Amino acid sequence: MQATPSSRPIKTGTSKTGISKRLIFLIASAVSASAANLYYNQPILPLIGQDLALSDALLGAIPAATQIGYALALLFISPLGDRFPRRNVIAFLSVLLTLTALMASFAHTGYVLVAACLLIGLSANITQQLIPFAASLSSPDTKAQVMGTVMTGLTVGILVSRTLSGVISEHFGWRAVFIMSATIALLFGVLLYRFLPNNKPTNSMSYFQLIISMGSLVRQHKVLRESAFIGALWFAAFNALWATLALHVSEAPFHYSTQQIGLFGILAMSGIIGAKLSGRWVPKFGSRRILMVSMSLIILGFGIAALFTDSLLGLCIAIILIDLGVFSGQVANQVRIFSIDPAAQSRINAVYMLFYYSGAAIGSAIGVNIISAMGWSAICIFCALITGIGLLYHGIKRA
């Protein structure tokens, strides 16, 4: 096949060339589509619970299983990007995602659905193959801007997923959401295989050595340890919010439908603004300052949500602040970690995101149980506290 700018072999982690706008757009769009799979099930939990007659514990296991699967993939699949061509890894994951989404659409018991969501989380590792790929293709001067654009795609996927899921389930049922997921996965799988560069990593480590080396990276790099810890805390809070929001607003005094619940994703578009602004401001103000502001916004948002429990306006303001803080902080964190070691970007990203999505899984599971036992205000207080721990830790460490 004739080499083109989008198919020319590169050496991952050493390329100093820029990345074309067309390829940035494709990667950002694919990141958006892949990440959406982690959140499609959140707005439709009430429908799933009613249809399959699930207990609160089993219902909470559905979003938690997705995040656990994603965390497992970060540990066991993400490092492959430093050893094998990412295009091939992504192609395999795209096929797996298509099949497991179809499995979820045909599930007739909660246990089958939980298993399918676990596999969906594994398959969605496509996102974490693409993010370090984009970082390796960008130059040092453009890394923050490229990460801002890619993270904007991630933000769009996370936020639009809930709105799209709510609308589709309202008109066609919750199973149609997973059929849609399978169709999109197949489409992007074909596009990515066609247009992604055919990179040839120079790393010759065995699979076992790749996995073991991740522990060494944690021990060697203080910035990685801090970024992973504080990211896990705020993302646990973020997922506790979104895993329980549907349950909160489907009851008194709101009584919203799944379509109305999905529309909350539109309010959370502030995360897009946060990602773009952070991409511009990190080079100017530094990651540390952006992270301090980001976590402060998250805490403020949860404080407002706790004080105005039954107020739609208060809830909207809280969501805007929380999403603005989460996604601006995420860009700042990733600019820091991708500057550590260009030859180990997949593994560094895997370590960081393993902490990140482990926090998400714990937050989702704990959140559903807290709201069932103590209500919405308790969720908000819990989330503000754990984010506050991250802010305090960041301030003490001064990495």
Residues 6+ apart with CB under 8 A from 142: 18, 19
How far is residue 279 CA from its own chain's centroid? Answer: 17
Half-sphere exposure of 96 (CA within 13 A, CB side): 21
pTM confidence score: 0.72
CATH of domain 21-198+213-397: 1.20.1250.20
Distance CA 16, CA 379 (A): 46
Distance CA 237, CA 255 (A): 24
Which among 84, 48, 53 has a CA at the least distance from the CA of 65? 48
Instruction: Mark the ranges of the chain whose per-residue pLDDT is less than 50.
Output: 1-17, 399
Half-sphere exposure of 395 (CA within 13 A, CB side): 11
**What are 202-222's pLDDT values in tens digits?**
777 888 898 899 999 999 999
Q: Which two tokens stand for residue 293?
A: 């502001």
**What are 155-203's pLDDT values in tens digits?**
788 778 888 998 899 899 999 999 999 999 999 999 999 999 887 777 7
Residue 12 has what pLDDT? Answer: 39
DSSP annotation of 170 reads: H
Which among 303, 299, 301 has a CA at the least distance from the CA of 320? 301
Residue 346 has what pLDDT? Answer: 85
Residues 243, 369 contacting (CB under 8 angstroms):
no
Please list the alpha-helical segments (H only) found in the chain: 21-35, 45-52, 56-76, 86-105, 110-123, 126-137, 143-172, 174-195, 207-220, 222-249, 258-262, 264-267, 270-285, 287-307, 312-337, 345-374, 376-397
Distance CA 57, CA 256 (A): 23
Q: Scan for tokens 């453009």, then name that residue.
A: 142
**What are 71-115's pLDDT values in tens digits?**
889 889 999 988 888 899 999 999 999 999 999 999 999 999 999
